[in-house]
Structure 1
Amino acid sequence: MARQRVPEGPTPPPAVQKLRIRYAKRGRLRFSSTRDFQRALERALRRAAVPMAFSAGFHPHPKISYANAAPTGTASEAEYVEVSVTERVDPERLRAALDEALPDGLDVLEVVEARPGALADRLQASDWVMTFRGMPVADLERAATALLEQERVEVTRMMKSGPRTFDVREAVVSLTASPAEDDTCAILRMVVRHTTPAVRPDDVLSALRAVAALAPPTPPLVTRLAQGPLQTATATVADPLAADQAGDGT
């Protein structure tokens, strides 16, 4: 029987604190991928001399957990990541240091110490806004109404394993159209429940095309405004870090 290899070197120091970070993807950085951000964050953590906790084993890696990243090409005001450290750090100092070390457009908005409760369990829905230039609001309203009237609207998206067909309508909690303040474009605001597979803004756009032949003259600018606990009664999304700030994990 082959002998099991034992990792060499000392056991890494244990994590004593977990921090949850909210950051934004803005401007041209909306085209950065999750992998791009991972590399940028790890460089920023080293540059800021953050005492990162590492996994044990033959290939130690920093204890970083990424949660439900927005698709490449979409902007976001509500991306989340968790890091574990071997020495206690001040959340606000960490926020400022990481924000300074990351490129403009990847902006660290908030850092809190994690309380009990999994962050992933709180990310139940997202609040999105899609901005359409050169599209009449009436066309967008008609398409939104048509989608909401359906019980089921299936779309097909190419996954890594091949094409997959799934229902979009069930995930859409609310969908409203309105003119922009300067009347130069039409705005579509939507709250979408997180499902498996995840229903993305481009899936909703495909569904609108299917039920109402919606054909925007140019691709919309898409921004995630929030993600967190779904407030069903009001069709809104709450702050997932509120429980950490309040000191409980509920």
Structure 2
Amino acid sequence: MRAQPEQQAPPVQRLRIRYAKRGRLRFTSHRDFSRAFERALVRARIPMAYSSGFNPHPRISYAGASPTGAASEAEYLEIGLAVVTDPDEVATMLDEALPDGLDVVAVVEAGGGSLADRLDASRWRIDLPDTPEAVLSAAAESFLAAESVEVERMTKKGLRTFDSRAAVLALGVTSYDAGSRLEVVVQHTVPSVRPDDVLSGLRHCSGLEVDGTPLVTRLEQGSYDATTGLLRDPFGSGG
């Protein structure tokens, strides 16, 4: 019989990390990021806890990764450590070990509950160069007035049709020097509604045609407060 693997000790500390994907690194896929992050853990000599089994892995839990091509100021993960370590020290060491454009924003001790349960919505900014504000505003009004807006997207399970309107909690339009800008709060659903799905919904409602390539940035993740329209910081109230 094959010998049973040695059982690893459980983590003595859990840390939650907020990081950003900026510039050209927005094209990093989730798989590429996870590889880069694990290499950074080794270079920074972070005392990771490992899973048990024949192929132990560092204890890392990812939550709600953004689509490839989208920049983000609010990506989250959780790590388990074998030695209690100062969160600020971990933040500094990891930020130095990661490539420029993958930047550690904050590290805190994990509190109670699941990190994923604290991330039920995202606030996105979509910059649309050369799109007039009046045209985008009219499209947004048509979208918000609709009871449902079905769009199609190819997924791992094939072509899926789903309602892009129901997941949108807020939608606003402003201008900037190169064109106009959408700011949209999207509830995390299954299947997920992404910023490009919202643009598809706008096109479906109004025939909106976008010139150039939209620049998509996730500004926040958190728990949506319907009273204020704000997202609660997932690191608040004890992390």
- Indicate the TM-score class for this superposition, using the shorter chain for normalisation: over 0.9
Partner of 1:248 in structure 2? none
Partner of 2:202 in structure 1? 208
Distance of 1:56 and 1:213 partners within structure 2: 54
Aligned-residue offset at 1:12: 2.1
- Aligned pairs for 1:1-250 (under 5 A) are 5-8=2-5, 10-180=6-176, 183-245=177-239
Distance of 2:159 and 2:178 partners within structure 1: 36
Distance of 1:59 and 1:152 partners within structure 2: 46
CA contact (8 A) 1:23 1:77 kept: yes
What code does the residue aligned with 2:236 have?
Answer: A
CA contact (8 A) 1:126 1:226 kept: yes
Aligned-residue offset at 1:235: 2.0
Q: Give the unaligned 5+ runs of structure 1.
A: 246-250
Aligned-residue offset at 1:6: 4.1
SS state at 1:70 partner:
coil
CA contact (8 A) 1:21 1:80 kept: yes
Q: Give the unaligned 5+ runs of structure 2.
A: none
SS state at 1:229 partner:
strand
Aligned-residue offset at 1:236: 1.9
- Give the percent of matched residue pairs that are identical in Structure 1 and Structure 2: 54
Aligned-residue offset at 1:163: 0.6
Distance of 2:3 and 2:228 partners within structure 1: 55
RMSD of equivalent CA atoms: 1.0
SS state at 2:80 partner:
strand
Q: Say how many residue pairs are matched.
A: 239
CA contact (8 A) 1:132 1:218 kept: yes
Residues 20-75 of structure 1: per-residue CA shift (max 9 Å, x gap): 00000000000000011101110110111111111111111111000000000000
CA contact (8 A) 1:191 1:236 kept: no
What code does the residue aligned with 1:106 have?
Answer: L
SS state at 1:227 partner:
strand
What code does the residue aligned with 1:57 have?
Answer: G
SS state at 1:170 partner:
coil
Runs of 4+ in 1 over 4 A off after TM superposition: none
What code does the residue aligned with 2:213 have?
Answer: P
Distance of 1:233 and 1:164 partners within structure 2: 33
Aligned-residue offset at 1:117: 0.9
Distance of 2:160 and 2:3 partners within structure 1: 42
Aligned-residue offset at 1:161: 1.2
What code does the residue aligned with 1:7 have?
Answer: Q
What code does the residue aligned with 2:4 have?
Answer: P
Distance of 1:200 and 1:153 partners within structure 2: 14
